[in-house]
Structure 1
Amino acid sequence: MATTWKNKPYRGRRRADTAPLARKVENSAVESPTLLLFVLIAAIGVLAYTGFLLNPSNRGDWLPYGIVITAELILVTQALVSMWTILSGGQDPRTFAFHHSQERLFDATTIERSELAERPHDWPMYLENRRIRVDVYITVFGEPLEKIAKTAMAALAMRGQHVTWILDDGESDAVRDLAADLGVRYVRRLTHHGAKAGNINHALTVSNGEYFVVFDADFVPDKDFLYETVPFFIDDKVAFVQTPQAYGNLHNLISRGAGFMQTVFYRFIQPGRNRFNAAFSVGTNVIFRRSAIEQIGGMVTDSKSEDVWTSLRLHERGWRSIYIAVTLAVGDAPETIEAYTKQQLRWASGGFEILMQRNPFSPRTKLTIDQRIQYFVTATHYLVGITPLLLIMVPPLEIYFDLRPVNLTVTWLTWLLFYAGFYGIQVLLAFHTMGSFRPETLIMAAVSFPIYVRAFVNVFSGREQKWSATGSKRDYVSPFNFIIPQVLFFVFVLLTSLVGIVKDYSHQTITLATAWNVTNTIVLGTFIVAAFRESHRARAVEAPRATFYPTFARPVSERPIHSIPAPVPVRARAASEAERLVPVFDQAGRTVS
């Protein structure tokens, strides 16, 4: 009796008496009728709130009214386009050609008759009966060794024959020794030009895979990453396949806020962008076609957001992008205020660069109208992050100067009704999409405006921004070094709340301005408390600690052959130390050690 595929650890070319294993499923059903209903109701709420604000009879004093109108129109525009994008989703990018290619990615007959059956990482991969080569790049810049090791081990174990490389821009001998122990190839550049993009471009000069995967050092891939992504390249116009960023370290306010802020984007916005061929790379958990990158002259090195810029240039050349909402790698969200600030500053700078240097609506930009809209939304997205700065100034104008955004005939209950129609429905939408409302998301979105203002000013003035990896570890720096504007605003709104409470008490009434300002005080105060806690934890662990990999600090010649960290299992490799060494390449591809 023939053995069925469901009892096999691999998939491959089908035979008459076999059936393929079920593929992985998406994280969510974008076509859910309930989701569509929520999106439509939210859109109605947005339009109703917009009509309320623009009604001339509701207009108050010009200064606060102008501030509110400016902020809310930015929010409304982004909300409506996002809802349109979500409603456009639901199409599975995995066509018949994909499934046909996936079923034949591995040659089952050859595997069964050879010694490869128990070594899935060595199974040859085929597209249209042509054997392909894949390189896997792990970009490193000062991340902890334990994270690099975990990612490298998972990359080595991925099903499908591939070559794994550690691209070390941190010039770490410990990382070099780790690569030797794990049996992965190691590359160290002599310069750091182009940051991460330059690191990848250099790796392309010393490798020859037709496709290359990029993982950040802290993103651990699933064993089926290649199985779920490579078959898309059966379409000669596909330049890259992007998968979501998922996080496994959501244990404090910063990491939860940073992680949950991305949930709707990866679960609903990116799938919708597939409909417009406008899904863009996010820099990790992605696989590229080498020839597509070579056509545009390599990964873009002129920006710190090389992922979005590279995607833009590929789309301009007519290449196609694919996004699949399947979690195939899990990594770390920023855990500290410093890491979060640097991440958001880098991302926002990239968006503003597109807006100011390559306006998607410019005639020189060769995009479809749908792509122009989507890239314009990307370029202006971080303006949403500046709106809290505008809105935080409205209550003080009323408390100190009696300047109101709406006239006195509009009660605060009426305002609240329309306001709830805008924001309340979106909270319910968050409940539906994420299972609950995450206050951390609201807090981080409300207090991040100094980051986005700085990014805007930097791009507008042409100021160079130093690149920093999100997960890299450096000497301890107080979180308050990065949140001085938030602290000053907290003091200001706290004093304003006290003034407002005193005035309301004397008038025997509760005003919207005071309630609004107290809310702002609580939000900023919660963030300040989180900074104090982070500072306290950092001081507690600042004392010297033993390294996770003590044997990696010694030269290779002095280490035992099997000096593999106990917590990380490794498959058997050559016993000879000489066979386990890996070369270090210079810019020209010559071996230097």
Structure 2
Amino acid sequence: MTTLKDRLYRGPRRSEAEPLARAAENQAAQSPTLSLFVLVATVGVLAYTLFLFNPGNRGDWLPYSLVIIAEVVLVSQALVSMWTILAGGQDPRGFTFHHTQERLFDGAMTDRLGAADSPQYWPMYIGDKRVAVDVFITVYGEDLEKVRATAVAALAIRGEHTTWILDDGKSDEVRELAAGLGVNYIRRLSGNGAKAGNINHAMTLAKGGFFAIFDADFVPKPDFLYETIPFFIDDNVAFVQTPQAYGNMTNLVSRGAGFMQSVFYRFIQPGRNRFNAAFCVGTNVVFRRAAVQDIGGMNTDSKSEDVWTSLELHERGWRSIYIPVTLAVGDAPETVEDYTKQQMRWASGGFEILMQRNPLSPRTRLTLDQRLQYTVTATHYFAGITPFLLLMVPPLEIFFDLRPVNLTVTPLTWFLFYAGFYGLQMLLAFHTMGSFRLETLVLATVSFPIYVAALVNVFSGREQKWHVTGGGGRRSSPFNFMIPQVMIFVFLFLTSLVAIAKDVEHQTLTLATAWNVTNTIVIGVFIAAAFRESHRAKAAIRRARRPLRVTARPIETGPTLVTAGSQRHADASVFETQPAPASELTERRTP
């Protein structure tokens, strides 16, 4: 016989495959085989480094310098990343977490015996204290159906909570949607502070002790609060972050953008738990209200408010938790425009940290481990600039006969050391992700103009306009956002023709030719994807311009559809207000 308590803890029915998938997701960073792969790859990195710095292997100064600069950045990032991955074997969910999670819904048995069939209304308890949770859905022009899907899923999250739509897009359609679903709606008259300002303003109206944040296109799973809230039994925990996972891996851009993040979320972030340096990624996260108030609210001085807020919380001594459990699924950028704007925003945030709050500065109140991890975060996008330096090495040999390594070094010797660096990392990707994705290689190669522009913007103090991923509105041609890539492709293509002609004349295939042709093909794949995207966009415009054919049909009446949660939230409120004074959040204190 099934008891009420059994029904409470069972929650939504899951397939047999889901617990297995979740177990694999949790244990990915704790695999002994992974540790072995990382150690072997580290040996390969060190061997390649010694090969490059061997004076006897040095070639002409210009291409050699380009290779050294690029590889030093890449090797440094690789070594710290591997060290971080090796630190990821510790599960943050200890006895205290499991004990709290087991009793999270105990109050539902005594307070609401009839609530077992409505898990979204079960009161939650941490220890003997009842928990008040607000769920914020940040909206800024996203497609209405995406907002609807996220709002409906947010209402269905297990555990008593209040759902809010924070609409900085000032859309009457979104307001009507919120009213129909029974969701609280907030619209500011000013957009100051972008997403962070939107959240800070909502905190003056929503008074829960904890608040979760979801971007409009990230649909949460019912167990989101069940898997995150128990961590707050530790009074020093400021936020609990979960991964970004994507459900729209439909083209080269979305697949490449999604897979580029996979290693970070599956292996890097878990390792950062060991150093209390896992940072917020802006969505799929729960914050303790008191922690955010302690630093004067979400940071509004940067478009990368998530990393900056995390940095300030860590400086104040707060603790962060990351769990590698997919509890919300969203959209990766599907177009060149969306990808460019996303990467520009992320890179700008990293460079801002480096130039405005250098983690290595003695004035920064972080532990040694945290300094190193934030330095890697701040310098990460320098690694994205290095492909440009390496792209220029083969043309120097083809046109000017300048080589990065000594002529006595055979192509086979160079290739073996090179494979020790890159090949072992590809094998590591095969082991951890199941495959090495061509889309990842393509985007990693062609993104350098974005990161160069971000660096220039930050250095010059140019304001970075806020953009959402996958926002609505009329799309520009993808080629408006990839002029440097097109110019590089043309240059490499012509260089390849020259190189092939020279090799035919000398009846030999040189490494420079093979390298340059490979680079040309990789960028050419991106150009081809842009042509397909442009063709699809033009076809969609033509379809939209076609006149609709209206056929008269009798109107059929049917049963009225009542959206889940609408009756319960019939008293949901609409707020259209001026931004609240900063004093209502508490003044920002200097760490």
**TM > 0.5:** yes
Q: Secondary structure at the match of 1:213?
A: strand
After superposition, residues 73-112 of structure 1 pair within 5 angstroms as 73-107=72-106, 110=109
Q: 1:5 to 1:424 in 2, by over 3 A?
A: farther
> Which structure 1 residue ranges, 4+ long, deviate > 6 Å from structure 2?
560-564
> Following the alignment from structure 1 to structure 2, what is the Cα–Cα distance between the partners of residues 390 and 38?
28
C-alpha contact 2:7 2:116 (8 A) present in aligned 1: no
> Is 1:221 matched with 2:212?
no
Q: 1:170 to 1:526 in 2, by over 3 A?
A: same
> Is 1:273 matched with 2:250?
no
C-alpha contact 1:26 1:325 (8 A) present in aligned 2: no
Q: Secondary structure at the match of 1:335?
A: coil
Match of 1:571 among 564, 572, 575: 564
Identity value in percent? 69
**1:16 is matched with which residue?**
none
> Following the alignment from structure 2 to structure 1, what is the Cα–Cα distance between the partners of residues 153 and 385?
39
Q: Which amino acid aligns with 2:371?
A: R
**1:38 is matched with which residue?**
37
Q: Give me the TM-score of the superposition, normalised by structure 2.
A: 0.92
> Following the alignment from structure 1 to structure 2, what is the Cα–Cα distance between the partners of residues 354 and 283?
16
Over residues 354-375 of structure 1, what are the superposed CA-to-partner deviations in whole Å (9 max), with x where a residue is unaligned?
0111000101100000000000
> Following the alignment from structure 1 to structure 2, what is the Cα–Cα distance between the partners of residues 290 and 127?
15
Count residues with an aligned counterpart.
Answer: 563
Q: Residue 113 of structure 1: CA displacement?
A: 6.0
Q: Residue 474 of structure 1: CA displacement?
A: 1.6
Q: Secondary structure at the match of 1:287?
A: strand
> Following the alignment from structure 1 to structure 2, what is the Cα–Cα distance between the partners of residues 572 and 287?
22
Match of 1:583 among 549, 567, 574: 574
**1:25 is matched with which residue?**
23
> Following the alignment from structure 1 to structure 2, what is the Cα–Cα distance between the partners of residues 453 and 408?
33
**1:363 is matched with which residue?**
362
After superposition, residues 481-500 of structure 1 pair within 5 angstroms as 481-500=480-499
Q: 1:113 to 1:259 in 2, by over 3 A?
A: closer
> Following the alignment from structure 2 to structure 1, what is the Cα–Cα distance between the partners of residues 134 and 108?
25
After superposition, residues 205-216 of structure 1 pair within 5 angstroms as 205-216=204-215
Q: Residue 573 of structure 1: CA displacement?
A: 3.6
Q: Secondary structure at the match of 2:239?
A: strand
Q: Secondary structure at the match of 1:366?
A: coil
C-alpha contact 1:387 1:449 (8 A) present in aligned 2: yes
Q: 1:512 to 1:23 in 2, by over 3 A?
A: closer
> Following the alignment from structure 1 to structure 2, what is the Cα–Cα distance between the partners of residues 149 and 401?
59
Q: Which amino acid aligns with 1:520?
A: N
Over residues 437-467 of structure 1, what are the superposed CA-to-partner deviations in whole Å (9 max), with x where a residue is unaligned?
1110000000000000000011011111111
Q: Which amino acid aligns with 1:219?
A: F
Q: Secondary structure at the match of 2:380?
A: helix
Q: Residue 127 of structure 1: CA displacement?
A: 0.9
**1:161 is matched with which residue?**
160
Q: Secondary structure at the match of 1:139?
A: strand
**2:549 is matched with which residue?**
none
> Is 1:416 matched with 2:409?
no
Deviates more, 1:213-222 or 1:537-546: 537-546
**1:454 is matched with which residue?**
453
C-alpha contact 2:167 2:185 (8 A) present in aligned 1: yes
**2:397 is matched with which residue?**
398
> Following the alignment from structure 1 to structure 2, what is the Cα–Cα distance between the partners of residues 5 and 497?
70
Q: Which amino acid aligns with 2:3?
A: T
Q: Secondary structure at the match of 1:262?
A: helix
Q: Residue 112 of structure 1: CA displacement?
A: 8.8
> Following the alignment from structure 2 to structure 1, what is the Cα–Cα distance between the partners of residues 466 and 347?
13
Over residues 98-144 of structure 1, what are the superposed CA-to-partner deviations in whole Å (9 max), with x where a residue is unaligned?
11111111126626962212111111111111111000000000100
Q: Residue 584 of structure 1: CA displacement?
A: 2.3
After superposition, residues 148-547 of structure 1 pair within 5 angstroms as 148-543=147-542, 545=544
> Following the alignment from structure 1 to structure 2, what is the Cα–Cα distance between the partners of residues 98 and 574?
34
Unaligned runs of at least 5 residues, structure 2: 12-18, 546-556, 582-591
After superposition, residues 128-143 of structure 1 pair within 5 angstroms as 128-143=127-142
Over residues 209-263 of structure 1, what are the superposed CA-to-partner deviations in whole Å (9 max), with x where a residue is unaligned?
1000000000000100000000000000000000000000001000000000000
> Following the alignment from structure 1 to structure 2, what is the Cα–Cα distance between the partners of residues 351 and 113?
47
> Following the alignment from structure 1 to structure 2, what is the Cα–Cα distance between the partners of residues 257 and 290?
35
Q: Give me the TM-score of the superposition, normalised by structure 1.
A: 0.92
Q: 1:38 to 1:574 in 2, by over 3 A?
A: closer
Q: Residue 585 of structure 1: CA displacement?
A: 2.8
Q: Residue 37 of structure 1: CA displacement?
A: 1.0
Q: Secondary structure at the match of 2:134?
A: strand
Q: Residue 499 of structure 1: CA displacement?
A: 0.4
**2:65 is matched with which residue?**
66
Q: Residue 26 of structure 1: CA displacement?
A: 5.5
Q: Residue 33 of structure 1: CA displacement?
A: 1.6
Q: What is the root-mean-square deviation of aligned Cα atoms in Å?
A: 2.3
